[in-house]
A = this chain, B = another copy of it.
């Protein structure tokens, strides 16, 4: 085989993986949406304004990346979709609460997200604070009450999500580092730490939760932890790149915002070409982490490739 046909075969194979990952996301989407709908109170149930605000932000057309990842990992290791859905959606509830609070005037002060007014603009600040707070409670409740998973595993999943959401090794710690860095120059190491916590921790934990529910062994957990770590990095770099390169129509928010806000991102700290290389390396490392497993991991590789090439 010549070098050229090798490259071509690799390319075709990657494309096939991406397509199968895309099909997976499409087919699981409805179940994720239905589960989210089941996990939060109806808008007609009092207090209506609070529940309206929760649903406004939760059903705003998010990508559902974290739940999809959890499903993909769990199914790769043999778990049934029904046993994965509530925990998968718990990660989305926490993610949504973090967006609501992040958009508040005292935080990033964003008026628009996903092409429509943010929660505190559509409702009010107090309601947005409470909606975020309630979403966090609902997330832990979703796991703790999930009858598809045995109670002992639920406790492990709650611990996993809580560590990833909180501090000192979770999302809120990352946001606190982000606050501290605002308007100051930041080292590459500090940038990596901030993102590893702010977005990485939840993505790693979602991937690990899939392994925990499937009841796969320690070896799988170690490999998936590395896969999730690289995928989280990849997700953040492509997010930063999209802020620089995408159009407003694609993003549903104004691109270039990070740049103008003087925010340290992979694109601004490394420059676009180096950030693109870094993304490709993270994707390759994510796939390499799966090599030591004896499971069929095409879906997880496809998900990494899809993230590398995402347009939104």
Interface size range of chain A in the complex: 35 or more
Mask of A131-151 contacts with B, CB within 8 angstroms, 1/0: 011101110110111000011
Complex CA–CA separation, A73 to B224 (angstroms): 42
The stretch that binds B, out of A160-168, A248-256, A279-287, A289-297, is: A160-168
Do residues A167 and B138 form an inter-chain contact, with CB atoms below 8 A? yes
The stretch that binds B, out of A45-53, A56-64, A226-234, A238-246, is: A45-53
Given A47-B177, A176-B47, A179-B126, A144 and B167 touching (CB < 8 A)?
no
Residue of A51, A130, A163 contacting most chain B CB atoms (<10 Å) = A130
Q: Which residue of B lies closest to A47 (CB)?
A: B176
Measured between beta carbons, the chain B residues less than 8 angstroms from A51 are: 167-168
Do residues B126 and A173 form an inter-chain contact, with CB atoms below 8 A? no
CB distance from A289 to the nearest CB of B (A): 26
Chain A residues 147-184 with CB under 8 Å of chain B are 150-156, 158-159, 161-163, 165-168, 170, 172-173, 175-177, 179-180
Integer count of this chain's copies in the complex: 2
Q: Which residue of B lies closest to A106 (CB)?
A: B125
Complex CA–CA separation, A141 to B136 (angstroms): 13
Do residues B49 and A180 form an inter-chain contact, with CB atoms below 8 A? yes
Choose among B46, B130, B162 the residue that contacts A138 (Cβ–Cβ < 8 A): B162
Measured between beta carbons, the chain B residues less than 8 angstroms from A176 are: 47, 49-50, 127, 130
Complex CA–CA separation, A24 to B151 (angstroms): 33
Do residues B172 and A133 form an inter-chain contact, with CB atoms below 8 A? yes
CB distance from A221 to the nearest CB of B (A): 17
Report if A301 contacts B (CB, 8 A): no
Residues of A at the B interface (CB closer than 8 Å) are 41, 45-47, 49-51, 54, 97-98, 101, 104, 106-107, 124-127, 129-130, 132-134, 136-138, 140-141, 143-145, 150-156, 158-159, 161-163, 165-168, 170, 172-173, 175-177, 179-180
